A and B are shown apart, each in its own frame.
Chain A
Amino acid sequence: EAQVTQNPRYLITVTGKKLTVTCSQNMNHEYMSWYRQDPGLGLRQIYYSMNVEVTDKGDVPEGYKVSRKEKRNFPLILESPSPNQTSLYFCASRKTGGLRVGEQFFGPGTRLTVL
């Protein structure tokens, strides 16, 4: 089954404790992206990657890191989480080009709470 998976789905942590949220896709997509969803703000892009070893900042990159060492994986790293990073996080992927303009496939989400 074609899908984007994220782990963990739920995480409660404390300020300053480094964490990684994993994202993996099995569709051989070149493009991957991370979003956060906050009440009243919709989805905002954190980082994106056009292909292996190619990453760039989105609209809200502060406090986050990413890496793209393999095509299928795009982990999101919070080196020193803070309470303002409490949010619902989505990973997405898409094939570059493609028939459907703009369609991105989203993972199920990771709900992160930073105390």
Chain B
Amino acid sequence: DQQVKQNSPSLSVQEGRISILNCDYTNSMFDYFLWYKKYPAEGPTFLISISSIKDKNEDGRFTVFLNKSAKHLSLHIVPSQPGDSAVYFCAAGIVGSNYKLTFGKGTLLTVNP
């Protein structure tokens, strides 16, 4: 049972445009969500997070939106840059659950110059 789903294996956008990466979840107990970015031959690095008490969190070019009623979150990157090309993982957790994170399968973003 996949509790965190990233249904788009890949996404390609032009430099300067907006990248929107989507994530759906099924477990209504999740109360925080994170996005990680992963370059080849490196470990995932934390990008941005959001608590379930918020519907938006912004950090520079990165904004995460949470729609709890739809059990959906999205990561917006504006403007997209070639250096943003990486695999993006959505992850979710439950406060008090020993910091366990449940990850999606990832979406490969390619930003073309």
Contacts and interface: CB of A to CB of B under 8 A. Distances in A.
Interface of A: 4, 31, 33, 35, 40-45, 48, 50, 56, 58, 90, 92, 94, 96, 100-109
Given A35-B103, A101-B34, A101-B49, 12 more contacts: A42-B4, A42-B103, A48-B98, A48-B99, A94-B99, A102-B34, A104-B101, A105-B46, A106-B36, A108-B42, A109-B42, A109-B43
A108 B41 CA distance: 7
Nearest to B36: A106
B106 A102 contact: no
B74 interface: no
Given A42-B105, A102-B49, A102-B93, A50 B34 contact: no
Contacts, number: 64
Contacts of A100: 46, 49
Given A42-B89, A100-B49, A31 B105 contact: no
A56 B98 CA distance: 10
Contacts of A58: 100
Most buried by B among A56, A102, A106: A102
Most buried by B among A40, A58, A96, A103: A103
